Amino acid sequence: MVIKNLLFTALIIFSGSTLFAEQSQNEGTLFGNLKLDQSWDSKIYLSYIPTFNDMYMISTDMIISETSISPEGDFEFDLSFLPDENHILRLHITKKEDAPASLVIGGNDENHLFLIANRYSVIELQAFAYQPPLRHVNFSHSNQQIEFHKITSIYNHADSIASGSSAAKRRFIENKLYEELIAIADTSSNPLISLYAIYKGNFESNYSGNMDFYRNYSKKWNHEKSAYFQAFRKQINDPSVNHNIILIAFISIFIFALGFFIGKNYPIKKNKFKNLSIQERKIFDLLKKGATNQEISDEYNIEVSTVKSHVSSIFSKLKIKSRKEIMNIKD
């Protein structure tokens, strides 16, 4: 009788633990603690990044969740609404005077970090610096996030050194960075981490000099059908990606021509400027004066690569293609 009771108790414990594991599997969560001063708002936002080309784009439509940050810096997101597959997400905060869709790239006020997550992900992060608040973080129990964040850290470190170096030294640093990122891309077993290293390695500039590698890389991940890999294959003009390319090109040319005509005859309205962050507005003012990336970098003490990201974001938000268009915008 005693043995039967013990067996029954063990069965209940086992069933309960199994049920708990099944429930936990369906309860993805992102939580952590930030070190913030009084200039930051008490909201934190989570955005969906559809392709790696959109990492530094921001709009209210990209924000998929928001939550409050406690006075102690704690926050938590429920991730159970996400798809089963991994996607790239962006976590960002804003200054009290900024709109929710505000992104600061580089400098002490950089306000974002990127993550890989799905509906089952359990992600814990701990920030350990006030400036920038989301650049220096530790991840607990998540090798995927650690590996992903390592790529960002490698890139930021190299970029920081290169920004104050001579042209010759910058080339050495950039070449070493490229080799390191390509090695990560070639050896990582995680498709999104691997592809992130490819993008951070500036593959568009390096493609012509290492075409065979990128073609072989695309074949290696041929089974990956996510939007991230589809965008990559289109960018390298992979023959395996085809589909009505002539029609798509024709439509693109038509839309571009129509956009050019409309843009030329109808000036940009001022309400579009509300989408620019404070930092972007400052850079926009210098662009109107004809300042170069290096001059903007010197003026605001930020890396040239950070300036390029801001300029790209400004172009996207204002629906323009060149600096000349900025200089032609009437105040």
- Decide which of 79 and 18 is more confident: 79
Q: Give the pLDDT confidence of 216-237 residue by residue, as tens digits.
A: 999 999 999 999 999 999 988 7
Residue 284 CA to residue 287 CA, distance in Å, equals 5
Position 270 in a domain: yes
Listed range (12-21, 90-99, 153-162) with the worst mean pLDDT: 12-21
Last residue of a domain, one of 235, 269, 296: 235
Q: Which of 64, 119, 113, 88 is nearest to 195 (CA)?
A: 88
Task: Let me know whether 294 and 229 are in one domain.
Answer: no
Position 17 in a domain: no
Task: Let me know whether 224 and 251 are in one domain.
Answer: no
Task: Let me know whether 299 and 263 are in one domain.
Answer: yes
**Segments forming the whole domain that contains residue 263:** 245-328
Confidence at 271, pLDDT banded by 50, 70, 90: low
Last residue of a domain, one of 235, 263, 289: 235
Using the predicted structure, report yes or no on whether residue 243 has a pLDDT greater than 70. Answer: no
Last residue of a domain, one of 235, 261, 283: 235
Task: Let me know whether 220 and 261 are in one domain.
Answer: no
Task: Let me know whether 161 and 95 are in one domain.
Answer: no
Write down the pLDDT at residue 23.
Answer: 41
Task: Let me know whether 52 and 137 are in one domain.
Answer: yes
Task: Let me know whether 71 and 121 are in one domain.
Answer: yes
Cα torsion 66, 70, 75, 81: sign: negative
Listed range (6-20, 127-141, 150-164) with the worst mean pLDDT: 6-20
Position 303 in a domain: yes
Task: Let me know whether 73 and 46 are in one domain.
Answer: yes
Using the predicted structure, report yes or no on whether residue 254 has a pLDDT greater than 70. Answer: no
**Mean pLDDT, to the nearest integer, of 305-310?**
83
Q: Give the pLDDT confidence of 54-88 residue by residue, as tens digits.
A: 998 989 999 999 999 999 999 999 999 999 999 99
CATH code (residue 309) = 3.40.50.2300
Position 240 in a domain: no
Task: Tell how far CA 310 is from the center of its chain.
Answer: 13
Position 152 in a domain: no
Does residue 55 contact residue 49 with C-beta atoms inside 8 Å?
yes
Task: Let me know whether 190 and 262 are in one domain.
Answer: no
Position 221 in a domain: yes
Position 131 in a domain: yes
Position 10 in a domain: no
Domain count, the chain: 3
**Mean pLDDT, to the nearest integer, of 173-188?**
94
The amino acid sitting at 17 is S
Task: Let me know whether 111 and 93 are in one domain.
Answer: yes
